Amino acid sequence: MSTPHIAAERGQIAETVLMGGDPLRMKFIAENYLENVVCYSSVRNCLGFTGTYKGVPVSVQAHGMGMPSMGIYSWELMKEFGCENLIRIGTTGSIREDTKIGDVIFSLASSTDSNWQDQYKIHGHYAPCCDFGLLRKAVEAAEKRGIPYRVGNTVAEDVFYNVNPEVHESWERMGCLCVEMEAAALYMNAAYLGRRALALFTVSDEIKTGKRATVEEREHGFTNMIEIGLEAAFSL
C-alpha cells in the first residue's frame, strides 16, 4: 500500500519512527545504531529504514525541510501506515545567547508564523504541544546519560532566509529557545490524528553570533540527540 511519497507495505514500518530532515542522517542512524536493517523506501531520496534497537523495532524516516514536507511524511506515516509515535530529531537555530552549538533542546510546544492551523477551522490560536509521555521518556534518557538539556517553547518558521533582521527578537522576548521549520506541523498532525509526537533538537546555528556547525557535524554528529531519541523509543 505505497503512498505517493513512501514506498512501503503496511507492517514494514515500526510503530515508533525517528524522523529527521536529512536523508543521510537517517542512513547514518540506521547503519550505526540499528540491527537487521531494511530500507523500505527511497522515493525522492527521502530514505526510510526499519531495524531493531536493543531488540525493539524502530524506523527512521527522512522528511525533508519545512512544514509542508513534514506534513506530508508525518501524515502518511500516521494515517496510512498506522505509526503511533513520531520523534523528530533535527537541528535548530538558537535565538538566545545562553544556548550554544551542540546544546540539546526538547520542544515542549511549537509556536509558529505558519497558517498551518487554518485547515482545522479553529476559532482562535491553537498552541501545538508535544506528548508528555514521550517528553518524559526523553528527559529520563538524557538524565540517565548525564546529557544536559533544556525544555521549552520553540518556534517553527516558514522562512529560512528572512529579510527582517529583527524577526526573532519578539520570540526571544516571549521565552522561546530556538527556531526550526517543522515541529508545529508535526504536533498538529499528531493532535488531529490522535497520535503522539515529540521534537528533539540540537543547536547547529547561533543566530546572534553567526556561528554554524559544519555540514559533516550536521550529518554525522549530534549523537546525544540521536541516542536520547532511540532510548525514548526503546522504553515505550
Please name the residues in contact with 117: beta carbons below 8 A apart, sequence gap of 6 or more.
Answer: 125, 126, 128, 188
**Helix, strand, or coil here: 199?**
strand
Q: Is 14 left (phi over 0), alpha (psi -120 to 50) or beta?
A: beta
**132-184 pLDDT per residue, tens:** 999 999 999 999 999 999 999 999 999 999 999 899 999 999 999 999 999 99
Residue 93 has a pLDDT of 97
222 pLDDT band, cuts 50/70/90, is: confident
- The fraction of the chain above a pLDDT of 90, given in percent, is 94
Examine the pLDDT at 117 and tell me if it is beyond 90. yes
Name the grid cell of 228: 536520547
For the chain, domains (ranges, CATH) are: 16-234 (3.40.50.1580)
| Average pLDDT rounded to a whole number, residues 6-35 | 96
7 pLDDT band, cuts 50/70/90, is: very high
**62-74 pLDDT per residue, tens:** 999 999 999 999 9
Distances (CA, A) of 114 to 33, 55, 174, 188: 34, 39, 17, 12
| Average pLDDT rounded to a whole number, residues 98-127 | 96
Residue 204 has a pLDDT of 95
The secondary structure of 155-176, three-state, reads: EECCCCCCCCCCCCHHHHHCCC
Examine the pLDDT at 217 and tell me if it is beyond 90. no
57 pLDDT band, cuts 50/70/90, is: very high
34 pLDDT band, cuts 50/70/90, is: very high
Virtual CA dihedral for 22, 27, 29, 31, nearest 10 degrees?
A: -170
Residues involved in catalysis: 205
Residue 5 has a pLDDT of 97
Which residues are paired to 129 by β-bridges? 109
Which residues are paired to 25 by β-bridges? none
Residue 165 has a pLDDT of 84
Reported pTM: 0.96
What's the chain's average pLDDT?
96
Which of 89, 71, 117 is closest to 22 using CA atoms? 89
